[in-house]
Amino acid sequence: MAGYKRYRKESEVSYSLGITLTFELLKYKAEHVTRIFIHSGMKEGETLGKLTELSKAAGIEIVHTDKIFHVLSQKENCYVIGEFRKFQGTLTADASHIVLVQPSNAGNMGTIMRSALGFGITQMAIIRPAVDAFDPKTVRASMGAVFSMDFVYFDSFEEYREAFGERELYPFMLDAEMKLYEIRPKRVFSLIFGNEATGLPDEFSCIGTSVVIPHSGRIDSLNLPIAASIAMYEATKPKI
């Protein structure tokens, strides 16, 4: 039997690193779980009992090994890894979306998923080239939100727009038409964010209503997960 390999984007499976994340995986995507790995350092007890029970109930193989932990995890206190087949999401025309154009940081993508799920936006469009939503770093940063989100990759924004353009489109850029607190979405919407380093290209200013989150000149920009989260907060909160 071959040894364990590092995660690659091309792999058919990915991994939840850590016990909490693996419980989230079992809760929301049990049908996709292929194996659960348990490290020799994992203590007997209620948590392990519950994990074993859930895995057995779902017919998932439990493998006791330390090897895969050396390959996949740098953290010292990671004693459980879940292996799962990648799954396919779908977007729908009647749901609001968050759209990430060429995102380059796995941790940021995961953090945005966590916030999105918190604000009830459960569908994400990702425009290539883009970081891998199944990268264990994304999975970890999402704190399991990735298991509840529907996300779909598109080769270009045009491709996304042809499929889902009939809605309120809000590209976020520094040079924008409206300030965030002025917008009042009336139907389903898409909040569109550019790459961490470069933002959205200028041509997005002609798409829908461009929006800025005003900030002082003392900083260049807000960080991407923070800007996206503020936008989702504002766009989804009750108007009072």
User: CB of 136: closest distance to a copy of itself in angstroms?
Assistant: 18
Q: How many residues bind a copy of itself (CB under 8 A)?
A: 31
User: CB of 28: closest distance to a copy of itself in angstroms?
Assistant: 9
Distance, in Å, from the CA atom of 211 to the CA atom of 216, rounded to the nearest integer, reads 16
Residue span binding a copy of itself (CB under 8 A) among the ranges 39-47, 52-60, 82-90, 178-186: 178-186
As separate numbers, helices (DSSP H) first and strands (DSSP E) second, the chain gives 7, 11
What are the backbone angles phi and psi of residue 72, rounded to the nearest 5°? -100, -25
> Around Cβ 18, how many Cβ atoms within 10 Å?
22
Among 145, 146, 173, 176, binds a copy of itself (CB under 8 A): 145
User: CB of 180: closest distance to a copy of itself in angstroms?
Assistant: 8
Distance, in Å, from the CA atom of 35 to the CA atom of 12, rounded to the nearest integer, reads 13
Distance, in Å, from the CA atom of 54 to the CA atom of 143, rounded to the nearest integer, reads 19
Position of tokens 């965030």?
A: 180
User: CB of 103: closest distance to a copy of itself in angstroms?
Assistant: 16
Distance, in Å, from the CA atom of 126 to the CA atom of 99, rounded to the nearest integer, reads 6
Residue span binding a copy of itself (CB under 8 A) among the ranges 8-16, 123-131, 155-163, 226-234: 226-234
- Which residues, in sequence order, are bridge partners of residue 126? 100, 153
Q: Specify whether the CB–CB gap between 164 and 138 falls below 8 A.
A: no
Between 124 and 145, CB nearer to a copy of itself: 145
Among 115, 124, 168, 203, binds a copy of itself (CB under 8 A): 115
Q: Is 45 in the site for a copy of itself (CB under 8 A)?
A: no
Between 92 and 223, CB nearer to a copy of itself: 223
**Which of 68, 93, 88, 89 has the alpha carbon at shortest distance from 78?**
68
User: Can you give the binding site for a copy of itself, defined by CB under 8 A?
Assistant: 111, 114-115, 117-120, 143, 145, 148, 180-182, 213-216, 218-220, 222-223, 225-226, 229-230, 233-234, 237-238, 240
